[in-house]
Amino acid sequence: MVALDDPHWADLRDAYGSATKIPSLLRELSAFPVATDYRSEPYFSLWSALCHQGDVYTASYAAVPHIVEALLARSGQVPHSPLQLVVCIEIARAKGRGPAVPADIEGAYGEAIRRIADVAHGLTRPPCSEATCRVATAALAAANGYVQLADVILELEPDLLDDCKHWLEER
Protein backbone atom coordinates (compact mmCIF):
# COMPACT_ATOMS: atom_id res chain seq x y z
CA MET A 1 0.00 0.00 0.00
CA VAL A 2 1.32 3.45 -0.89
CA ALA A 3 1.67 5.32 2.41
CA LEU A 4 -0.17 8.63 2.57
CA ASP A 5 3.10 10.49 3.13
CA ASP A 6 4.93 8.67 0.31
CA PRO A 7 6.24 11.02 -2.40
CA HIS A 8 5.11 8.40 -4.97
CA TRP A 9 1.65 10.08 -4.97
CA ALA A 10 3.19 12.82 -7.13
CA ASP A 11 3.91 10.18 -9.79
CA LEU A 12 0.39 8.75 -9.66
CA ARG A 13 -2.34 10.30 -11.79
CA ASP A 14 -5.93 11.26 -11.06
CA ALA A 15 -8.50 12.94 -13.31
CA TYR A 16 -6.76 16.29 -12.93
CA GLY A 17 -3.11 15.30 -13.20
CA SER A 18 -0.70 14.58 -10.35
CA ALA A 19 -2.40 12.90 -7.39
CA THR A 20 -0.70 14.97 -4.68
CA LYS A 21 -4.06 16.06 -3.18
CA ILE A 22 -5.42 12.53 -2.77
CA PRO A 23 -3.62 11.70 0.53
CA SER A 24 -5.18 14.70 2.32
CA LEU A 25 -8.62 13.74 0.99
CA LEU A 26 -8.11 10.18 2.23
CA ARG A 27 -7.14 11.54 5.67
CA GLU A 28 -10.37 13.58 5.71
CA LEU A 29 -12.35 10.54 4.64
CA SER A 30 -11.17 8.49 7.62
CA ALA A 31 -13.32 10.75 9.87
CA PHE A 32 -16.37 10.02 7.67
CA PRO A 33 -17.93 13.47 7.91
CA VAL A 34 -21.69 13.65 7.49
CA ALA A 35 -22.73 13.89 3.86
CA THR A 36 -25.68 16.18 3.23
CA ASP A 37 -25.72 15.82 -0.56
CA TYR A 38 -23.55 14.63 -3.45
CA ARG A 39 -21.31 17.71 -3.15
CA SER A 40 -20.28 16.95 0.44
CA GLU A 41 -16.57 16.73 1.03
CA PRO A 42 -14.32 14.81 0.87
CA TYR A 43 -16.64 12.44 -0.99
CA PHE A 44 -17.26 14.74 -3.96
CA SER A 45 -13.58 15.48 -4.53
CA LEU A 46 -12.59 11.81 -4.21
CA TRP A 47 -15.23 10.75 -6.71
CA SER A 48 -14.28 13.57 -9.09
CA ALA A 49 -10.59 12.76 -8.98
CA LEU A 50 -10.68 8.96 -8.79
CA CYS A 51 -13.69 7.87 -10.85
CA HIS A 52 -14.37 10.77 -13.16
CA GLN A 53 -17.24 10.03 -15.56
CA GLY A 54 -16.52 6.32 -15.27
CA ASP A 55 -12.78 6.59 -15.91
CA VAL A 56 -10.12 5.59 -13.37
CA TYR A 57 -6.45 6.36 -12.89
CA THR A 58 -3.37 4.98 -11.18
CA ALA A 59 -4.23 7.03 -8.07
CA SER A 60 -7.66 5.36 -8.01
CA TYR A 61 -6.00 1.98 -7.47
CA ALA A 62 -3.64 3.37 -4.84
CA ALA A 63 -6.53 4.97 -2.95
CA VAL A 64 -8.68 1.82 -2.77
CA PRO A 65 -6.69 0.07 0.02
CA HIS A 66 -6.86 3.25 2.12
CA ILE A 67 -10.63 3.58 1.63
CA VAL A 68 -11.22 -0.07 2.49
CA GLU A 69 -8.95 0.12 5.54
CA ALA A 70 -10.79 3.22 6.79
CA LEU A 71 -14.16 1.53 6.30
CA LEU A 72 -13.04 -1.60 8.14
CA ALA A 73 -11.60 0.42 11.03
CA ARG A 74 -14.78 2.44 11.51
CA SER A 75 -17.33 1.30 14.06
CA GLY A 76 -20.92 2.26 13.48
CA GLN A 77 -22.69 3.41 10.37
CA VAL A 78 -20.80 5.19 7.61
CA PRO A 79 -22.04 6.60 4.30
CA HIS A 80 -22.23 4.04 1.51
CA SER A 81 -20.53 6.43 -0.93
CA PRO A 82 -16.92 5.35 -0.16
CA LEU A 83 -17.78 1.68 -0.69
CA GLN A 84 -19.64 2.54 -3.87
CA LEU A 85 -16.57 4.44 -5.06
CA VAL A 86 -14.41 1.35 -4.53
CA VAL A 87 -16.91 -0.84 -6.41
CA CYS A 88 -17.11 1.66 -9.27
CA ILE A 89 -13.32 1.80 -9.51
CA GLU A 90 -13.23 -1.99 -9.81
CA ILE A 91 -16.02 -1.95 -12.42
CA ALA A 92 -14.15 0.69 -14.45
CA ARG A 93 -10.90 -1.29 -14.19
CA ALA A 94 -12.63 -4.42 -15.47
CA LYS A 95 -14.20 -2.48 -18.35
CA GLY A 96 -10.80 -1.11 -19.38
CA ARG A 97 -11.75 2.47 -18.46
CA GLY A 98 -8.29 3.23 -17.13
CA PRO A 99 -4.69 2.05 -17.12
CA ALA A 100 -3.64 -1.32 -15.80
CA VAL A 101 -3.06 -1.53 -12.07
CA PRO A 102 0.64 -0.70 -11.52
CA ALA A 103 2.68 -3.70 -10.41
CA ASP A 104 3.73 -2.02 -7.14
CA ILE A 105 0.07 -1.43 -6.21
CA GLU A 106 -1.45 -4.64 -7.57
CA GLY A 107 -1.15 -6.76 -4.41
CA ALA A 108 -2.64 -4.17 -2.05
CA TYR A 109 -5.38 -3.33 -4.56
CA GLY A 110 -6.38 -6.98 -5.05
CA GLU A 111 -6.44 -7.63 -1.32
CA ALA A 112 -8.59 -4.54 -0.74
CA ILE A 113 -11.09 -5.67 -3.38
CA ARG A 114 -11.36 -9.07 -1.68
CA ARG A 115 -11.96 -7.34 1.67
CA ILE A 116 -14.89 -5.24 0.46
CA ALA A 117 -17.11 -8.20 1.29
CA ASP A 118 -16.24 -7.59 4.97
CA VAL A 119 -17.06 -3.91 4.55
CA ALA A 120 -20.42 -4.81 3.00
CA HIS A 121 -21.32 -7.04 5.93
CA GLY A 122 -20.53 -4.28 8.41
CA LEU A 123 -22.39 -1.65 6.43
CA THR A 124 -25.69 -3.53 6.30
CA ARG A 125 -26.48 -3.83 9.97
CA PRO A 126 -30.13 -2.82 10.46
CA PRO A 127 -31.43 -0.26 9.94
CA CYS A 128 -30.06 -0.08 6.42
CA SER A 129 -31.33 1.99 3.49
CA GLU A 130 -32.20 0.53 0.10
CA ALA A 131 -29.24 2.35 -1.46
CA THR A 132 -26.85 0.95 1.14
CA CYS A 133 -28.19 -2.58 0.57
CA ARG A 134 -27.72 -2.16 -3.18
CA VAL A 135 -24.13 -0.91 -2.78
CA ALA A 136 -23.33 -3.72 -0.32
CA THR A 137 -24.75 -6.34 -2.68
CA ALA A 138 -22.72 -4.91 -5.56
CA ALA A 139 -19.64 -5.01 -3.31
CA LEU A 140 -20.21 -8.70 -2.56
CA ALA A 141 -20.47 -9.40 -6.28
CA ALA A 142 -17.30 -7.42 -7.08
CA ALA A 143 -15.35 -9.04 -4.22
CA ASN A 144 -16.15 -12.43 -5.72
CA GLY A 145 -15.12 -11.43 -9.25
CA TYR A 146 -18.63 -10.82 -10.61
CA VAL A 147 -17.92 -7.29 -11.78
CA GLN A 148 -20.59 -7.27 -14.52
CA LEU A 149 -23.19 -8.32 -11.94
CA ALA A 150 -21.97 -5.58 -9.59
CA ASP A 151 -22.42 -3.05 -12.40
CA VAL A 152 -26.00 -4.16 -13.04
CA ILE A 153 -26.87 -4.17 -9.32
CA LEU A 154 -25.75 -0.55 -8.95
CA GLU A 155 -28.11 0.41 -11.79
CA LEU A 156 -31.13 -1.23 -10.12
CA GLU A 157 -32.64 1.84 -8.52
CA PRO A 158 -36.21 1.47 -7.13
CA ASP A 159 -38.03 2.82 -10.20
CA LEU A 160 -36.11 0.45 -12.46
CA LEU A 161 -36.91 -2.52 -10.20
CA ASP A 162 -40.62 -2.16 -10.96
CA ASP A 163 -39.88 -2.24 -14.70
CA CYS A 164 -37.66 -5.32 -14.26
CA LYS A 165 -40.27 -7.11 -12.20
CA HIS A 166 -42.92 -6.38 -14.82
CA TRP A 167 -40.61 -7.60 -17.60
CA LEU A 168 -39.87 -10.84 -15.72
CA GLU A 169 -43.57 -11.51 -15.09
CA GLU A 170 -44.28 -11.15 -18.83
CA ARG A 171 -41.70 -13.75 -19.81
If you write DSSP's letter for every residue of 123-168 in order, what string do you get?
A: HTPSS--HHHHHHHHHHHHHHTT-HHHHHHHHH--HHHHHHHHHHH
Torsion of CA 7, 13, 19, 22, to 10 degrees: -110
Give me the pLDDT at residue 84, please.
96
CA 103 to chain centre: 20
CA atoms of 70 and 31, how far apart (whole Å):
9
Give me the pLDDT at residue 34, please.
85
Give me the pLDDT at residue 159, please.
81
Give me the pLDDT at residue 168, please.
77
Give me the pLDDT at residue 124, please.
81
Comparing CA positions, the residue from 159, 145, 78, 135 lying closest to residue 110 is 145
Give me the pLDDT at residue 161, please.
77
pTM for the whole structure = 0.93
Beta-bridge partners for 13: 18
CA atoms of 132 and 34, how far apart (whole Å):
15
Give me the pLDDT at residue 35, please.
85
Give me the pLDDT at residue 167, please.
77
Instruction: Determine the 3-state secondary structure of 52 from DSSP.
Output: strand
CA atoms of 125 and 106, how far apart (whole Å):
31
pLDDT in tens, 47-66: 999 999 999 999 999 999 99
Give me the pLDDT at residue 105, please.
97
Of the chain, the percentage scoring pLDDT greater than 70 comes to 99
Residues of the chain with pLDDT under 50: none
